[in-house]
Amino acid sequence: MTADKISTESAPAKAWLMGIAAWLVPGLGHVLQGKWVRALILGGAVWICFIMGFMMGGHLFRFSAAEQGVSSLLQIAPMIGDLGTGLLYISCWVSGTGFGQTPEQAALATFEYGWTFLLVAGLLNYLSMLDAFDIAAGRKS
């Protein structure tokens, strides 16, 4: 009986909105719910991770059909990770910044760390997004 209740439990529309807000701008989902400290901690960590990624010479991933064979498919998984940063990724995509790899960038000792930080920023924001969703749905305090 309890399992039936859980499986049919639906989240309110507010929870979905908070989840989307948290995805679009890291920390916004918690700010809108008045969870300022949580927003500062979670959003701050994601923003710092993203900025550090670029400072270390990292680049973002995107699907490019121009690349041949399996190579283009290999871009999908990291692209999904990067996409977790929401508007940060979208604004980079629209402005065309952060996707290229110059030889100077690739020569940096922190180049590999850079794109890893950018990818992890997106993954951490997915966690933050789920947290904002759960709070709005009343599953967390």
65 binds another protein per the rule CB under 8 A? no
Task: State the Cα–Cα distance between residues 103 and 119, nearest whole angstrom.
Answer: 21
Task: State the Cα–Cα distance between residues 10 and 50, nearest whole angstrom.
Answer: 33
Residue from 49, 83, 88, 136 binding another protein (CB under 8 A): 49
33 binds another protein per the rule CB under 8 A? no
Buried b (16+ CB within 10 A) or exposed e, 28-46: bbbbbbebeebbeebbebb
Residue from 60, 120, 122, 136 binding another protein (CB under 8 A): 120
Q: Tell me the one-letter amino acid at 11.
A: A
15 binds another protein per the rule CB under 8 A? no
Distances (CA, A) of 115 to 19, 22, 62, 84, 130: 25, 22, 12, 14, 23
**Least distance from C-beta 119 to another protein, angstroms?**
11
Stretch binding another protein (CB under 8 A), from 57-65, 66-74, 77-85, 113-121:
113-121
Binding site for another protein (CB under 8 A): 38, 41-42, 45-46, 48-49, 52, 56, 109-110, 113, 116-117, 120, 124, 127-128, 130-131, 141
